Amino acid sequence: MNCDRIAHWYRPLEYLVFGRALERRRFEYLGQVGEVRNALILGDGDGRFTAEFVQVFPLARANV
């Protein structure tokens, strides 16, 4: 399914409906994860989780 038509509107709609609650939940448990060497990240949408993940785990190899 191609979601390109709605992708531009996702973040503004997310903030309008949920504020920052969904964004906080995306990152909530990253600090509790142990050492990460490899990760498979699926369905990240606009990439905010992946961006935070590579900052928290700079040595990990992330496959997206």
pTM summary value: 0.76
- Residues 21, 29: contact at Cβ < 8 Å? no
pLDDT at position 3, please? 77
C-alpha 15/C-alpha 41 separation (Å) is: 23
- Residues 46, 25: contact at Cβ < 8 Å? no
pLDDT at position 61, please? 94
Query: Mean pLDDT, to the nearest integer, of 28-40?
Result: 93
Give the pLDDT confidence of 2-28 residue by residue, as tens digits: 878 888 888 899 999 999 999 899 999
Confidence of residue 32 (pLDDT cuts 50, 70, 90): very high
pLDDT at position 25, please? 93
